[in-house]
Amino acid sequence: MIIGKFPNLRLRRSRRSDWSRRLIAENNLTPSDFILPIFLIDGKNKKEPIKSMPGVYRYTLDKLSHFVEKAINNRIPMVALFPYTKKIKKNALGTEALNEDNLVCRAIQLIKKRYKNEIGIMTDVALDPYTSHGHDGLLKSGYVLNDETIEVLINQSILQAQMGSDVLAPSDMMDGRIGKIRKSLDKNGYKMTQILSYAVKYASSYYGPFRDAVGSKGLLKGNKKNYQMDFKNKDEALREVALDIKEGADMVMVKPGLPYLDIIKLIKENYKIPTMAYQVSGEYSLLTNGINKGFVDEDIILESLIAFKRAGANAIVSYYADRIDKLLK
Nearest to 327 by CA among 270, 271, 275, 287: 287
Determine the Cα–Cα distance for residues 200 and 18; give it in Å rounded to an integer: 38
Q: Is 201 a catalytic residue?
A: yes
Cα–Cα distance between 174 and 200 in angstroms, integer?
11
Name the active-site residue from 90, 201, 224, 309: 201
Containing 167, the helix (H) or strand (E) segment is strand 167-170
Q: How many CA atoms lie within 13 A of 246 on its CB side?
A: 8
Residue 294 CB neighbour total at 10 angstroms = 7
What are the C-alpha distances in Å from 177 to residues 223, 240, 247, 254, 272? 21, 12, 8, 17, 22
Alpha-helical (H) ranges within the chain are: 18-24, 64-73, 103-115, 146-163, 177-187, 208-213, 235-247, 261-271, 281-292, 300-311, 324-327
> Please, are residues 82 and 129 in contact by the beta-carbon 8 Å criterion?
yes
What percent helix, strand, coil does the chain show, rounded to 5? 45, 15, 40
Which is the catalytic residue, given 255, 265, 309, 329? 255
- Known catalytic membership, residue 255: yes
Residue 58 φ/ψ, nearest 5 degrees: -95, 140
86 residue type, one letter: K
Backbone angles phi, psi at 137, to 5 degrees: -150, -165
Give the strand pairing for 57-59 and 139-140: unpaired
Cβ atoms of residues 80 and 124 within 8 Å: yes
Q: Which residues are catalytic?
A: 201, 255
